Each structure stands twice: as structure tokens, then as C-alpha cells.
Structure 1
Amino acid sequence: MLHIEMSRPHDGNSPFFPFGNPFRMIFPKGSYLSPRFLALLNSFEETLAERLKKLKPKDHGDILSLSWMSLAMQLLSETHTDIKTLVTDLQFPVSDWDDKWMDVYLDNSIKLLDICIAFSSELSRLNQGQLLLQCVLHVLDVSSTFPSKEQLMRAHSSISDWMQRIHLRSPKLENCAVILHELAESLHLPKIKNSAKGKVLMRAMYGVRIETIFVCSVFTAAFSGSAKPLVDLHVSDKFLWAEVFNELQGDVNGGISNLFSKEGITILKDLEAVETSVKHLYQMTSADGLTETDKLRNSVLDLAKCADGLSQGLDLLSKEVECYFQNVLTGRDAFLCNLRVGGTESEPQRQENSVEEQVVR
């Protein structure tokens, strides 16, 4: 697990980040915000806190259900949308941003699109596995007659294929942990010039980026089957959402680490339910397996129910990941268009070509 310490007393040792205290750069000592800007910032942070509260799991069994993951991705998209709204409310056009802010935004957005592509690839792989399960259910249709020996063998073969393929990982996931580490490092922003709008925007963007790293690290851990991608971020209590986030992160990351410490646990809860049912059927369809009609029928019905739940969960999560991808992409497009309107063309054009290459890759 990657640990990023975001605030600590000075102890004479070099900090993780080479630039000093990020919070002093977000709000330098003595900085002043007008009531209007302060209200906009407080509204953004309070909304973020409420979203994070919705993700607090009731128990460890809820942490990595597909429904929890879908909610996490949905709420993350909403927070990204809020940033766009905040920029408009601040009347702070992109052309007025500091060049370093622009570089950070453009670089991070490319990284997020890469992560979304990796997630979509993994979800597509899991969905393909559903085809094998549908084949099993079709062959073992016991509504009328008991399956023949040949049908049992065909079902057994399909189940074996599913069990071998389901724990394979998309190669695109391998780079996600590296990307998340880079995103965590970039949390440390460059100095902010004397701009109240800039201070509000940078503080709000910090919240978005913390939520993004948290959600994406949890997804990467779930899909990769490893706790290593988890990122432990310690947020200063200067932020209105800090306490909620720190508690949420502790519950979720701790719960995931506990799950990984148990052998034979499939980290995605919906997938684990299917795998349990599949293993039962695998034994029943083997040459020396049980062949009682009622037991086979019940096992087939149980698999059908679990597979249907998995299919619905995967479909919902796939839609939320696609929605988030489009959110990041359209936000980036708007950013580049605003820069062109402002007269800066060379760098945006290079970045625009870069994102097109990423999307089609």
C-alpha cells in the first residue's frame, strides 16, 4: 500500500514532497477571501463531505460490492461536474489560470483517461465470462428432462474454462498503480499567485483529486486482486470534508486489506457469490459427481440468480465508468477550447493530439 503523508510537524527530515507544505500554498498565511468566494468554497466542500458520507460502508461485506463501486464512480463524476460549475461561478476563465496549473490539469486528465480505459477493459473481460455461464445454464436446463451425460460433460468443460479465465487480469491494470502514485505526488501544487479565485479553485481541485485517487485506488485493488494499489492519504483537518474522508479511507482500505489477508477470498463480492455457485456445479457435473435431479436443479437455479446479479452489477458499473470517462474527456475538451479562445494554441494542440491517441489506443 502506498502511504502519502500530507501533513506532519517539522522534524528536520526531508518531506515526501520536495516543495514544502501543500496547505500553505493552497491558502498562504494571511490570505483573504471575500464572503462570496468563501460561500462558494464552503458549499463545494460541504457537498463533497456529504458525498463521502454516502460511501461509508455498513459493514465490510459492502465495501467491494458492485453497487458500492457504482455509487463511488457516480459520486466521483458528480464532484468533477461541480468543479466545472465552480469555475463558471468564480468567473475564472481557463485563460487566466497559471501555466503550472494548466500543465497539472492536462497531465492528470490524461492519466485519468488511461485509468478509465483499464477499468473498462477489465469490466469487458468479466462480461465476456458471463457468456460461458449462460452456456452452462442453457446446457443444464433441468426444467423438463435431466441432462444427458454428454450435456453434463459440456457444462463441466464450460465451467472449467470460466474458472480458468475469471482470475486473469487485464494487462492495462498493471500501469494503474504507477499512475496513482504519480497522481498522489502531483497533489503538491506549485505556488499560487495573489489570486483569490485561484486559491478557491486550487483548494476545491485538491478535494476532487483526493476523492479521485481514493476511488481509483480501491477499484484498481479490486480488479487487480492486490492491496498494493491502495493509497493512504492523510488529509489536514483544515478541509471541511477531511474528517469524513479520513474515516472512510480507514474503513475501506482496512477492510480491503483484511479481505486480502484471507486465502481463497474473491475480492469482488458479486463475483465471489458466482464463484461459490460455480464450484458447486463443477463438482456435480464431474464424472463422479452427484446426479440427483433436485440437487442439480437447485444448484442451477442458484447459479442463474447469482449470474444475473453479477450481470446487472457489471452493466451498471460499466455505464458509470463510461460516464466518468466522458465527464473527464468533455471537461478536457472544454479546457482546450477555452485556451484556444484565449490565444494559446501550440501546447493545447499537442495535448489534444495526445488525448486522441490515448482514447483510440
Structure 2
Amino acid sequence: MAHKEGSSLFASLGAVLNLPFSLHRSHANNVAFKRHPLLQEFDTRLRDRLDSLKPAGDEKGFLSIDWFLQAMSVVLATHANVESLIPESHLTLSLQRDDKWIDEYLDDSAKLLDVCNVLKEGISDVEHYQMLVQLALHNLDNKEISGELKYSRARNALTECKEAIKKKDTEYRQGFPKSKLENCSSMLRTMGEKLVNPKGQEAMKGNGFLNAIYGAKVTTILLCGLLVTALACKPKRPLTSLSVASHYKWSASLTTLQQRVKEETDKRKNKGSIALLRELDSVDASVRRLHEILDRHLNGRAFPLSREQSQELAQEVEFLRKHSSDLGQGLTPLEVQVNELFKTLIASRLALLDIISSART
């Protein structure tokens, strides 16, 4: 979904709040809370988007790059929907900062900015791995050399691929300091555990605007948490799991989605998958098979290769080429979406801080 640069949840909040801010809570907060029609529409849209990720997972594969592209689109669209609620929220804030949600929002958004940075580094690591795979394929495609030398160079490049994955894996399993991805996963899990559903007067504020912010935070923590885990190799931390209030239209959809993803990832783990990101796991499996074939031929000095051996090798090369292409094509648009989320969070923080600063002068 396209977004204008600089757009944020609070880009137009100053005008809505009719600065300077009220020093007291609005009298409307003492009136029985009725959910605004636009908030009901927000809940319906969020439910439908979460529901759409289940058939998308069945079709594209849960935790595949295509699935994550759709998942991140859900995150961005949800933030855009929250922004559209601002003109109807009629929200009041307090100069004494008794509105705890402001502090919570600023704290959580700062953490999510860190998450975006870690995600970008994680994607960059996969791009480096992809570059090593392309080097191996280039050696195999090199028509200027042939026979044993050609296959030896390709095997060496594939060995580098295996070592790159092993190093990434070792960070998690051999007592090394936690990697950034693992630290990020732990932080998101803690954020999820500390999520507080707006209640009482807080829930009444701004025609329920805080409930929409809650929905956006839940969605962002869940789906970004899944992406963090998918970019790791042999993650020892479980998937991010959130427990949310049941009265939202989207609550059951989120719970069902979490369970569906868990079922699929448990199957993958039981099969020995090294990475939960489907394309990365497919490339790794193909790298290992091709390396084994080349190693067998080189150690046995089986040159020239027989027709059957040549066919087996050619088939495995094409498998690697296909899996590598699938992986490479999705990384750039995925990184674009992460950058877009980063910009949205930055713009929201700056706009809100500016509003607070203006109210105090």
C-alpha cells in the first residue's frame, strides 16, 4: 500500500486537538462509551486483513517472502487506518502528562524503530548469503573453464555458503552472545507481554482512538516478530505469541492466525529446517545437496562425468538457481516495506513530540 513520505498517525493531530491542550479530562469521558462507527470499521478491516493472511499462507506458504510481503502490507495499512481516525477522535491530552498512553506510545515506537533496524540488518545478511550463492552459480556457468577446475571452484563457493549459514546458526546454539535477531525477538516478546488493553476512562478517550492504537501495536508486534524469527537460523526462541482481549472483532482472527502459523512452523522444525523463511531454507537445502554431489565427484575424480551424473548435476543446479531467484526477488521489496514502516514510526513520533512541545509554550 502506498504512503506519502512524512505521513504519520499524528501528522494532523495538532489541529484536531485544538491546542492548547485541556488541563483536565474531557467531560465526555464520564459519558457511557459508545464505539464510533469509524472505529467499528477499523476493527472490521483489521479482522479481514488478518483473515486474508490465512488463505495467503495456504497458497504462498506461511513465512514465505510473498507471505511476509502481504503481512507487512497489513501492518502499513493498519497504521494508515489509525491515521484516518484522527479527525474523528476529538482527543484531549493533559499537560501534566497524566495520559499514560503517550509515554507508552513513545516507548513502544522507539523499540519498534530498533526492530526495523534489526530487520534491515537481517535482510542484509540474507542478501550477502544470496551473493555467495550467485558466485557459486557463476562458477558453474563459466564456459571459459571446464572439468575438475570448474567444479572445484564451485564447490569452494558452496562451502562458503555453508559456513555463512553455520556461523549464523552458531550464534544461537554454542553459547555465543545473543545475536541482534535473538535480542530483538526477546524484546518483542516482552512488549507483547506488557501490552495493556485500554480500559475504563482510557478506553473512552477519543471515541475509542486508543483501541485503534492498541490494534496497530498488536499487529505490528506479531507480524514483525514473525519476520525477525524467520530471518534467523535455528531460532531457539519460540514464535512471538500474543494474548489479547476477546471483545475486539479481530481478536479471534489474530488467535487463529497465530495457531495456524505455529502448526506450520512446528512441522518445518520437525523436518529439520534450518530457517523458517521458506526460500532461505530451500536455498540452503539445495546448496547442501549440490555441494555433496560435487564433493563426491571431485573426491572420486569421476571425470569426465557420465550422462547420468551430468543430468543429476544439471538438475540440482537448476533447483538452486530457481530457489535462489525466488529468494533474491523478494528481498528488495521486503526491505522497502521495512523502511516504510520506519519512516511512518519516525514521522509519528516527531509529530506527537512537536504537539506536546507546542502545548507547553
TM-score, length of structure 2 as denominator length: 0.78
Structure 1's 229 and 30: CA in aligned 2 closer, same or farther, altered over 3 A? farther
2:254 corresponding residue in structure 1: 245
Identity %, equivalent residues: 30
Distance 2:348 2:121 in 1: 22
Are residues 313 and 92 of structure 1, via their aligned partners in 2, closer, same or farther at CA, if it must alter by over 3 Å?
same
Please name the residue that 1:203 is paired with: 211
State the partner residue of 1:358: none
1:116 aligns with 2:116: yes
**Aligned pairs for 1:223-242 within 5 A:** 223-224=231-232, 225-226=234-235, 228-242=237-251
Structure 1 residue 178: deviation in Å? 2.7
Segments of 5+ residues of structure 2 without an aligned counterpart are 1-28, 172-178
1:274 aligns with 2:283: yes
| Secondary structure in structure 1 of the residue aligned to 2:338 | helix
Measured at CA, do residues 296 and 55 of structure 1 come closer, stay the same or move farther in structure 2, by a change above 3 Å?
same
Give CA deviations for 1:84-103 in whole Å, capped at 9, x if unaligned: 22123324366788531110
Task: Give the distance between the partners of 1:202 and 1:95, measured in 2 at CA.
Answer: 15
Choose 207-216 or 100-109, whichever is displaced more.
207-216
- The equivalent residue for 1:51 is 49
Distance 2:199 2:60 in 1: 43
Q: Hey, what does 2:174 align to over in structure 1?
A: none
Is 1:80 the equivalent of 2:59?
no
Q: Higher mean Cα deviation, 252-261 or 74-83?
A: 252-261
User: Does structure 2 conserve the Cα–Cα contact (< 8 Å) formed by 1:232 and 1:249?
Assistant: yes
The 5-angstrom pairing of residues 293-304 of structure 1 reads: 293-304=310-321
- Find the aligned partners of 1:207 and 1:183 in 2 and give their Cα distance: 14
Counterpart position of 2:324? 307
The residue aligned with 1:135 is 135
Q: What are the Cα deviations for residues 198-240 of structure 1, in whole angstroms up to 9, with x where unaligned?
A: 4601211221122122112222322233362423333333111
User: For the Cα contact (< 8 Å) 1:227–1:256, is it kept in 2?
Assistant: no
Give, in whole Å, the separation in 2 of the partners of 1:185 and 1:306: 37
**What do the CA deviations read for 1:96-133 (whole angstroms, capped 9, x no partner)?**
88531110001000110111111111110000111111
Partner of 2:162: 163
Moved segments of 4+, more than 4 Å: 93-98, 189-192
2:337 to 317, 320, 328: 320
Is the partner of 1:285 in helix, strand or coil?
A: helix
Distance in 1, matches of 2:316 and 2:345, equals 43
Separation in structure 2 between the aligned mates of residue 264 and residue 181 of structure 1, nearest angstrom:
23
**SS of 2:245 mapped into structure 1:** coil
Counting matched residue pairs gives 313
Task: Quote the residue 1:180 is aligned against.
Answer: 188
Letter in 2 for 1:100: K
C-alpha separation between the residues in 2 aligned to 1:94 and 1:151? Answer: 69
Between the aligned partners of 2:202 and 2:138, the Cα distance in structure 1 is 67
Q: Which amino acid aligns with 1:53?
A: D
TM-score (norm 1): 0.78
SS at 1:64 equivalent = coil
Q: Secondary structure of 2:276's partner?
A: coil
Q: Aligned AA for 1:328?
A: L
Residues 261, 198 of structure 1: CA spacing in aligned structure 2 closer, same or farther, 3 A cutoff?
A: farther
Partner of 2:242, secondary structure, is strand
Q: Distance in 1 between matches of 2:327 and 2:270?
A: 24
List aligned pairs for 1:55-70, cutoff 5 A.
Answer: 55-57=53-55, 58-59=57-58, 62-70=61-69
> CA separation in 2, counterparts of 1:154 and 1:204?
56
CA contact (8 A) 1:109 1:332 kept: yes
Q: Structure 1 residues 230 and 30, CA, compared in 2 at 3 Å: closer, same or farther?
A: farther
CA RMSD for the aligned pairs? 2.8
Higher mean displacement: 76-85 or 272-281: 272-281
Superposition deviation, residue 65 in structure 1: 0.6
Structure 1 residue runs of 5 or longer lacking an equivalent are: 1-27, 345-361
